[in-house]
Amino acid sequence: MKTCLILIDAQESFRHRPYFTSTNLSAYLAAQNALIDGCVVAGVPIIRVLHVDGSKTADNPFSRESGHVKPLAELHNFEPVATFYKGRHSALVGTGLDVWLTQHGIQKLIICGIRTEQCCETTTRHASDLGWQVDFCLDATLTWDMQQPDGKTLRAADIKTRTATVLQDRFACICSVQQALERLL
């Protein structure tokens, strides 16, 4: 089955958001880099997706003018087969990614990147609905604590658990990096 790794929003922009913390960052980077390296070795094409939105000014970290819409500095270097810029949560809305995947005969996607419950989860649901088989590589996603409507904190670990629960067997196979790489064989 022809597979493609979709690396979503693993970009410097997040370092400039008030919720950014380095908590869980090193674990995420280790997993993300292992997945990138494994896909490079296996010859799996890697697509980079970067998020761009809001005002086109230098003070908006998600504008190209800011200089922050670029890969996280700690990511291992690789040559993406394509780079897409998105302005929505799903990487499949308005980017042409769906057309690229179809034209290249891709049947399965490995989803990873930032934020677990937003762009990664949304792209996974969308891809599944469009007919792609999806491996959601949970340990190669990153998110941060969020404030719930009642003012309580929802921990990042709980957000990841919730995402895995709602995606598993409905929209994706939840995989570790090792499992995703083993499934390539």
Domains in the chain (CATH in brackets) are 3-182 (3.40.50.850)
Q: What is the mean pLDDT of residues 151-179?
A: 98
Look-up of token digits 């969308």: 126
Are 47 and 84 spatial neighbours (Cβ–Cβ below 8 Å)?
yes
Return the pLDDT at 121.
98
Task: Encode pLDDT of 34-93 as tens digits.
Answer: 999 999 999 999 999 999 999 999 999 999 999 999 999 999 999 999 999 999 999 999
Q: How far is CA 128 from the centre of its chain?
A: 15
Are 34 and 68 spatial neighbours (Cβ–Cβ below 8 Å)?
no
Which tokens belong to 40?
């490079």
Return the pLDDT at 185.
78
DSSP 76-127: PP---SEEEEESSSSTTSSSSHHHHHHHTT--EEEEEEE-IIIIIHHHHHHH
Nearest-angstrom CA–CA distance, 6 and 112: 6
Which tokens belong to 30?
């280790």
Residue 96: pLDDT band (50, 70, 90) is very high
pTM above 0.95, yes or no: yes
Does the structure show a pLDDT above 90 at 163?
A: yes
Q: What is the mean pLDDT of residues 89-114?
A: 98
Return the pLDDT at 106.
98
What residue type is 77 in one-letter code? N
